[in-house]
Amino acid sequence: MPRYLFVRSLTALCVVLGICTVVFFLLHLVPGDPVDVMLGEAALPADRAALRQALGLDQPIFVQWWSYLINIMSLDLGTSIHSQRQISALLAERLPATILMACAGFATAMLIAFPLGIFAALRNNTAVDHAAMAFAIFGVSVPNFWLGPLLILVFSYWLGLFPVSGMNGVTSVVLPALTLGTGLAALQARMIRAALLEVLHEDYIRAARARGINETRVVIRHAVRNALLPVVTVLGVQLGALLTGSVVTEYVFDWPGIGQLLIDSIHKRDYPVVQACILVISTTYVVVNLLTDVLYSVIDPRVVLEQ
């Protein structure tokens, strides 16, 4: 286990640095200049040159890239070009809101997916099963940028139950959580149903029922637990997608998180902030996948991690 964790951690570090490198060069290839955004196109050439030198943008791109990687390795995210604030402070302000939305979306997804998937498997080829799978197809097909405004239109404008946007109290997280969790719930419901349908026909399930064990206990303790491994596999990938989807959801609901900060920084051509936001998202994605692999052996002791 220690050797496995060391190798996977080293691989994860290489992946994160690779992502940072790709994002760095893509940002510098995108049309637009942060100096133009800050000073305007009517600025004097001398002022533009002075600001470019102060921001370090006059250096060759490979020098800027190497300095960026060195700063990352030393846990220095740099300073925002636009606000001149430490990026770590900006992220510290926005991270709690993103974590709140991600946790609310994940909780919403699990509260929908597990009952839906279990009932669909237990009522296979019935109206309950067909309705659950219809919801799953709907949830997977509908993008966040369409579902979010639809929920705002229905529950905010027409019914007046929840705030339209912003982070103002507990009710303000309901619509973003539904938007973010619906797609994850739909996919997980299908995975739970498929995994349970395989497990419910195993010999040990029939043996448990033959011993007179309560059906609820058979399903929850024996069937669901043994069906979790493929579910956790997809869940680890989807948790990363949850953070990616939060970027769009935060923009739709004007949620003051990292996603909103990322989009605002892209508009302002604030390269260091954009790179830092993507670094946080990609690192979280990689760490979640690593923890998912470790979780396999906890759920199923028969799984032995490669030494």
d(CA 304, CA 307): 9
255 phi-psi bin (left φ>0, alpha ψ -120 to 50, beta other): beta
d(CA 233, CA 80): 37
CB 284 within 8 A of CB 240: yes
Q: Please identify, among 73, 106, 141, the residue that sits at the C-terminal boundary of a domain.
A: 73
Overall number of domains in the chain: 2
- For the chain, what is the mean pLDDT? 81
- Residue 40 CA to its chain's centroid (Å): 35
Both 173 and 289 in a single domain?
Answer: yes
Residue 212 confidence (pLDDT) above 80: no
Q: What is the pLDDT of residues 64-96, one digit of tens each?
A: 888 888 888 888 888 888 888 899 999 999 888
> Is the residue at 7 inside a domain?
no
Answer yes or no: do 158 and 30 share one domain.
no
pLDDT number for residue 301: 59
Q: Are residues 22 and 105 in the same domain?
A: no
Residues 240-266 as b or e (16 or more Cβ within 10 Å = b): bebbebbbbbbbbbebbbbbbbbbebb
pLDDT at 6 over 80: no
**305: pLDDT confidence band, cut at 50, 70 and 90?**
low
Q: Are residues 67 and 108 in the same domain?
A: no
Specify whether 53 is located in the same domain as 124.
Answer: no
* Average pLDDT, integer, range 24-42: 73
Flag whether 88 is in a domain.
no
Domain that holds residue 62: 15-73
Assess contact for 155 and 175: CB atoms under 8 A. Answer: yes
Mean pLDDT of all residues in 229-236: 73
pLDDT at residue 81, as a whole number: 81
Predicted local distance difference test score (pLDDT) of residue 119: 86
Residues 121, 258, single domain; the answer is: yes
Q: Is there a contact between 136 and 190 (Cβ–Cβ < 8 Å)?
A: yes
Q: What is the largest CA-CA distance in the chain?
A: 87
